[in-house]
Every structure is written in C-alpha cells, then in structure tokens.
Amino acid sequence: MHQTHLEFLRAYNDAFIAPDLDFIVNNVTDDVRWEMVGEPIIEGKAAFTRAMKQMEGMTTLEMHVDDIIFSEGKGAVHGTMRPRNAAGKEYHFAFCDLYALHGESEPKVAGIKAFVLPLKDD
C-alpha cells in the first residue's frame, strides 16, 4: 500500500489516540531511536516495544495536531494532547515530535525526538 509521508505521519499520530500500540510498534525500524528530551534514550525495537507497553491502560481524552511537515526523510508533528493514565490521572501537554523516516512507498519510523511541555489549564 502506497501512502505519502504526510499521510503516514498522520496515521502514526492517530495511533497514539486509539491507542493502537501494534500499529505504533509495527511501523518502526529494528534500530529505532526514541529520544524524549530530558529522559533516557530508547534504542532498538525491543526497548521501544517495552516503552510502548507502559502506555497500556492510557486513554487519550483529546489530541489536536496543529501541523505536520515533511521534507527529505524528516518530519515534524506538533500539537496538544490530554491523556489519562491507568491510575486515572489526567495530563495536558504540548508536543513537538521530530521524525526520521526510512522507506518511500511504505515508510517506517527510524527516529523520534520528542519535546513535551506541560500545559496549565485555565
């Protein structure tokens, strides 16, 4: 199935809303590198899968994607998200995820650098 990189990035971010952890994990390279700025770097698909499993039980109450940009193998997605964890605690934050993609007709995520900033509710 051929899809544009912008469509792929939209689908990848939509998977966080579902959450569709299978889609998220199945669309990364074996040597994926995930850096959430300020946290330890996660390297490799096995470590990435373990990190994603920690999201089980999370519910996304609301997510707004403001922009998706792609050029020459690199993409950026930014917006806001309001999830609730398995313990019932709600968070509200802004995010900007920078992606490195490999593959033209069926892209995979090779790298993510995520910037997450907590937001105060009015």
Give CA–CA dist 33/48, Å, rounded: 8
Q: Does pLDDT of 95 surpass 60?
A: yes
* More confident site: 99 or 61: 99
Residue 60: per-residue pLDDT = 85
> Range of 19's domain?
5-118
Name the pTM for this structure.
Answer: 0.89
Which pLDDT band, with edges at 50, 70 and 90, does 117 fall under? very high
Give CA–CA dist 122/86, Å, rounded: 24
Spatial CA neighbour of 112 closest among 29, 46, 50? 29
When pLDDT is averaged across residues 31-59 and rounded to a whole number, the result is 93
Which pLDDT band, with edges at 50, 70 and 90, does 2 fall under? very low
We report the CATH number of the domain holding residue 17 as 3.10.450.50
Please, are residues 10 and 53 in contact by the beta-carbon 8 Å criterion? no
Average confidence score pLDDT of the chain: 91
Spatial CA neighbour of 46 closest among 63, 32, 64, 61? 32
- For the chain, what is the domain count? 1
Residue 3: per-residue pLDDT = 60
Could you tell me what percent of the chain has a pLDDT over 70?
A: 97
